[in-house]
């Protein structure tokens, strides 16, 4: 799902900071202490010692360190002495030192990750009652002083001097010619490009943890939802997490005739109430009240009672995250906004390129044609919630109760899931010894929320598959999500244990692990022994990917536009932000969706929880769908497991270089659009 934790801790710190810098001392972070003339003099001395062939690298290293050196680090003379003493001219010594650094970083990042994982257990896992102190411990960031410490002891400067940072543009231009060692050097160069004070890092963890907890406990007891006749339509004890479980319940009701449509409409009304914050606060994670989301009337014991709406809390949380992340800006001169840190540094695809991909697909004539096909298959005009139409999947025509019975019997608890992982991998094509090896690095935990994957960050630790298992066992929706999360865990294991160097471990960005997880998720019925013999299954798979991409691309465009607005309006109130989010969602809807789904001014694209607790993460999903489709085409006729290991052991190249290595071409909408065209001709 959404929580894919970054391997490189310093980069993670850039993406989760807090406290708006306002004091003069903080503002000094943007002023360079070392004069350019002093840096130029040192560069000339080092070039004279090491030779003209080293000039470009020396210039890059000295300039980077000079930009980060402050008065408390020493005088200009101290800076000169430091550079002359610590520059490594010998390639052999440089490589030997790099190998030692890699081992040390694995130790540091691995234990930071383990501490965070353990401290967050009470909040993340279904392990009984939580206490106020649990949230405080969960917010503690063990790596908060990492960057400060490594500049204080000068390690950060030594690394920046000898393994300097390369911009995304430089990586794009130079990367195709680099060796694996040069790539690893460049990834080490990504580590120390900023100096974010430790107190800001720690406060950031507080803000992020608060937003995660807000979302993780946003359950709606849909068994208490009433229609205009006062009738309930869902099982009494059913509660659904927003937005994931609400959306999945809409998907699950496409094969249930009029009753299914009634349920979908009720959930849609709940979503609208969450978006505009007219939802009564007493129905959030509370089974004590009955609620008609259409009329917004609240009842208790059959009598109507007064309702108090949630006081724009959703947008307050989003605003707090913005303020937290914007606070980092003065300390990241190479990426001076969270938007740039998310796309240029995190995704390593500029936002304008991502927007272009999304705008192009959402504007294709195929969108209208697929919408018309869906309407025909449903036998009714489309509704706004049909952006989640799930009828192209084989499971959409299956009896949900039968699927639930099957998965509950197969997986009564998390232990059963963990025990079955080797068998799952063998069914996907992994050789038994390799399946056993990979499975040995994965453990399964009972999630408090809908589930997520948390990868290991050092060899010897395990990746954690966190999934929700009910008292009666795992229902099908939970199973489907768990298979997705297992895909993340397998990727995390391959890209840690099977990559040639620790600094290259991981994937280019989270879209690539999402792509792998989507591939796993599509095999969920196969893994249950249910075969899809439909001759149109490839066509249906293309239509399914296209429609999912279309839906989530619109949501992502809203996310990007909201963040652009926030930077232009940093002093906005929660109420102003709410108005902007709703207006933006309607604008994107009217441009790309209204003509297809038949309704104007719909704000439903604003329902995604990622917008609240995982800012600017959403774009990874549609990019992941595009990558997934291209990988699917490549896997045809080949052994999936062998190719998965070959491709994902490439590690943390930049996205387009990774794709060229994987499938011989860059990320594009064309393969998906062309396949959708063929599918529309074949599927009636």
Q: What is the pLDDT of residues 492-518, one digit of tens each?
A: 999 999 999 999 999 999 889 988 998
pLDDT at residue 2, as a whole number: 38
pLDDT of residue 334: 81
How far CA 376 is from CA of 303, 369, 390, 457, in Å, comes to: 42, 11, 14, 49
Strand ranges (E), 555-610: none
Q: Does the pLDDT of residue 203 top 90, yes or no? A: no
Question: What number of other Cβ atoms are within 10 A of residue 88's Cβ?
Answer: 18
In this structure, are 192 and 293 located in the same domain?
Answer: no
Q: Is residue 462 pLDDT above 50, yes or no?
A: yes
Report the mean per-residue pLDDT for the chain.
91
Domain boundary among 143, 171, 202: 202
| Total structural domains within the chain | 4
Task: Locate 369 and state its tokens.
Answer: 């044609």
The domain of 380 spans 335-392+532-618+653-682
Per-residue pLDDT tens over the stretch 259-309 = 999 999 999 999 999 999 999 999 999 999 999 999 999 999 999 999 999
Higher pLDDT, 255 or 18: 255
Rounded average pLDDT over 424-439: 97
pLDDT of residue 209: 81
Query: Residues 129, 259: one domain?
Result: no
Lowest model confidence (mean pLDDT) among 28-32, 35-39, 320-324, 530-534? 28-32
Structure confidence at residue 8 (pLDDT) = 34
pLDDT band at 463 (very low <50, low <70, confident <90, very high): very high
330 pLDDT tier (thresholds 50, 70, 90): confident
Is the pLDDT at 4 greater than 60, yes or no? no
Which band of pLDDT confidence, cut at 50, 70 and 90, is reported for residue 31? low
Same domain, 139 and 23: yes
Q: What is the mean pLDDT of residues 539-547?
A: 96
Look at residues 412, 436, 413, 415 and name the one whose alpha carbon lies nearest to residue 426: 436
Task: For residue 193, give the 3-state DSSP assignment.
Answer: coil
What's the pLDDT score for residue 26?
36
**Are 18 and 150 found together in one domain?**
yes
pLDDT of residue 193: 87
If we measure between CA atoms, which residue out of 127, 193, 172, 211 comes closest to residue 336?
193
Distance CA(531)–CA(93), nearest Å, equals: 57
**Using CA atoms, how far apart are residues 171 and 169, in angstroms rounded to an integer?**
5
Classify residue 21: in a domain, yes or no.
yes
Task: Tell me, yes or no, whether 470 and 601 share the same domain.
Answer: no
Q: Are both 366 and 423 inside the same structural domain?
A: no
Confirm whether 186 is domain-assigned. yes
Does one domain contain both 670 and 558?
yes
pLDDT band at residue 25 under the 50/70/90 scheme: very low
- In the predicted model, is pLDDT for residue 9 greater than 60? no
What pLDDT sits at residue 199? 76
Q: What is the pLDDT of residues 227-265, one digit of tens each?
A: 999 999 999 999 999 999 999 999 999 988 899 999 999
One domain, residues 183 and 241: no
Q: What pLDDT does residue 237 have?
A: 92
**Residue 190 backbone phi and psi in degrees, to 5:** -75, -15
Do 260 and 372 sit in the same domain of this protein?
Answer: no
- Distance between start and end Cα atoms, the chain: 32
In this structure, the answer to whether residues 359 and 476 fall within a common structural domain is no
Q: What is the pTM of this model?
A: 0.84
As beta bridge partners, residue 309 has: 280
Pick 145 or 174 by higher pLDDT. 174
Looking at residue 396, what is its pLDDT?
A: 66
Q: Are residues 341 and 233 in the same domain?
A: no
Q: Tell me whether strands 463-467 and 442-446 are parallel, antiparallel or unpaired.
A: parallel
550-583 burial, b at 16+ Cβ within 10 Å, e below that, comes to bbbbbbbbbbbbbbebbeeeeebebeebbebbbb
When mean pLDDT is compared across 9-23, 211-225, 412-426, the lowest value belongs to 9-23
How confident is the model at residue 507, as a pLDDT?
A: 95
Task: Clarify whether residues 110 and 20 are in a common domain.
Answer: yes
Q: What is the tens place of the pLDDT at every residue in 631-656?
A: 999 999 999 999 999 999 999 999 99
Q: Quote the pLDDT of residue 363.
A: 98
Q: How far apart are CA 380 and CA 382, in angstroms?
A: 6
Q: Is the pLDDT of residue 16 over 50?
A: no
Distance CA 495, CA 499 (A): 6
Mean pLDDT of 87-96: 97
Say whether pLDDT at 95 is over 90: yes
Q: Residue range 177-182: average pLDDT?
A: 97
The pLDDT of residue 562 is 98
Instruction: State the Cα–Cα distance between residues 277 and 312, nearest whole angstrom.
Output: 6
């Amino acid at each position: 799902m959404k929580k894919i934790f970054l391997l490189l801790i310093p980069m993670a710190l850039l993406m989760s900071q807090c406290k708006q810098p306002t004091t003069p001392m903080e503002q000094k972070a943007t002023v360079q202490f070392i004069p350019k003339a002093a840096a130029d003099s040192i560069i000339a001395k080092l070039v004279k010692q090491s030779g003209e062939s080293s000039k470009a690298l020396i210039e890059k290293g000295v300039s980077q360190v000079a930009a980060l050196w402050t008065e408390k680090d020493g005088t200009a003379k101290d800076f000169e002495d430091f550079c002359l003493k610590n520059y490594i001219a010998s390639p052999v010594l440089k490589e030997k030192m790099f190998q030692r650094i890699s081992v040390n970083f694995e130790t540091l990042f691995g234990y930071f990750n383990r501490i965070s994982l353990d401290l967050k257990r009470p909040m993340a896992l279904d392990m009984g009652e939580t206490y106020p102190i649990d949230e405080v411990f969960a917010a503690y960031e063990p790596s908060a002083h990492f960057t400060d410490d490594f500049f204080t002891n000068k390690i950060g400067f030594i690394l920046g001097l000898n393994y300097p940072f390369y911009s995304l543009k430089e990586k794009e231009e130079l990367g195709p010619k680099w060796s694996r060692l040069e790539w690893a050097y460049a990834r080490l160069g990504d580590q120390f490009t900023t100096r974010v004070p430790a107190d800001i890092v720690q406060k950031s963890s507080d803000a992020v943890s608060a937003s995660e907890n807000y979302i993780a406990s946003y359950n709606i007891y849909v068994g208490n939802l009433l229609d205009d006749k006062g009738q309930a339509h869902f099982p009494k004890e059913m509660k659904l997490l927003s937005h994931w479980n609400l959306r999945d319940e809409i998907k699950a009701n496409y094969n249930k005739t009029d009753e299914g449509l009634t349920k979908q409409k009720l959930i849609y009304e709940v979503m609208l109430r969450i978006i505009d914050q007219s939802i009564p606060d007493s129905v959030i994670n509370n089974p004590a009240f009955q609620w008609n989301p259409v009329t917004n009337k609240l009842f208790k014991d059959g009598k109507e009672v007064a309702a108090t709406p949630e006081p724009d809390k959703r947008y307050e949380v989003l605003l707090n995250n913005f303020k937290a992340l914007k606070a980092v800006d003065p300390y990241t001169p190479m990426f001076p906004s969270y938007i740039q840190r998310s796309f240029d540094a995190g995704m390593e695809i500029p936002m304008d390129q991502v927007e272009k991909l999304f705008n192009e697909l959402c504007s294709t004539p195929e969108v209208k044609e697929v919408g018309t096909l869906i309407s025909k298959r449903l036998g009714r005009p489309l509704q706004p919630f049909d952006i989640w139409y799930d009828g192209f999947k084989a499971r959409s025509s299956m009896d949900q109760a039968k699927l639930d019975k099957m998965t509950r019997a197969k997986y009564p608890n998390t232990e059963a899931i963990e025990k079955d992982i080797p068998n799952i991998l063998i069914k996907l094509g992994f050789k038994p010894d390799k399946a056993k090896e990979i499975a040995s690095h994965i453990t399964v935990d009972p999630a408090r929320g809908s589930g997520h994957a948390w990868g290991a960050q050092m060899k010897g630790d395990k990746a954690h598959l966190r999934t929700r298992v009910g008292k009666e066992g795992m229902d099908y929706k939970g199973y489907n999500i768990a298979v997705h999360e297992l895909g993340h865990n397998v990727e995390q294991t391959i890209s840690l244990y099977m990559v040639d160097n620790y600094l290259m471990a991981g994937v280019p960005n989270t879209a690539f692990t999402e792509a792998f997880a989507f591939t796993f998720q599509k095999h969920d019925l196969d893994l249950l022994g249910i075969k899809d013999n439909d001759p149109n299954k490839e066509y249906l798979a293309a239509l399914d990917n296209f429609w999912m991409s279309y839906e989530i691309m619109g949501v992502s465009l809203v996310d990007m536009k909201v963040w652009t607005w926030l930077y232009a309006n940093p002093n906005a109130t929660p109420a102003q932000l709410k108005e902007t989010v709703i207006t933006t969602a309607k604008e994107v809807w009217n441009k790309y969706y209204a003509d297809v789904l038949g309704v104007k001014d719909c704000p439903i694209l604003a329902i995604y929880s990622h917008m609240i607790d995982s800012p600017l993460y959403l774009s990874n999903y549609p990019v992941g769908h595009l990558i997934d489709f291209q990988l699917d085409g490549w896997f045809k006729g080949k052994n999936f497991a062998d190719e998965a290991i070959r491709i994902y052991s490439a590690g943390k190249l930049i996205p387009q270089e990774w794709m060229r290595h994987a499938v011989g071409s860059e990320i594009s909408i064309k393969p998906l659009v062309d396949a959708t065209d063929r599918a529309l001709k074949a599927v009636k």
